[in-house]
Amino acid sequence: MGKIDWNRPATYEDANLILRLYEERREEKLRAARAWFVGECKPQSLADWQAKCPPGSGMNANYRMVTSYWEMAASFVTSGVLHPGALHPELAGASDRLGAHPGASCRSCASSTTRRSCCAI
């Protein structure tokens, strides 16, 4: 994986890809899965996870749907296909977990009067 260029200008292709990602987010099953993930998915341990989200269950499917969506969006950034500043703050956290965001040295964030949530690291 190459180095992410946080300072490259965003392009029309970036905008089109973000619009397509947002269209996917509006899909009914993914919306329900995201609501469950944010509001109810709070396992306290591996045993708790296995009890609440066993393979083949609807909750396990919700988890896989949400995390694979975030993984896909983050992979667009880490592979250089999508401008890193284009991600919604909810998704930008995924790049933080991958160690990809430079924080204060990000040109988009440094030029802003308020730091975006992706820079609150």
Segment 51-97, tens digit of pLDDT: 989 999 999 999 999 989 888 888 888 888 888 777 755 555 444 44
Indicate if the pLDDT at residue 100 is higher than 80: no
Q: Is residue 108 part of a domain?
A: yes
* pTM of full prediction above 0.75: no
Mean pLDDT, rounded, of the chain: 75
Within a domain: 7: no
- Is 92 domain-assigned? yes
Q: Domain range holding 35?
A: 12-119
Give the C-alpha separation, 77 to 53, whole Å: 29
Match 């180095």 to its residue by tokens.
3
How far apart CA 1 and CA 64 sit, in angstroms, is 24
In a domain, 23, yes or no: yes
Mean pLDDT, range 19-37, rounded to an integer: 88
Q: Which residue has the higher pLDDT, 5 or 108?
A: 5
Total structural domains in the chain? 1
Rounded Cα–Cα distance for residues 77 and 72 (Å): 9
CA pair distance 117, 3, nearest whole angstrom: 22
3-state secondary structure of 49: helix
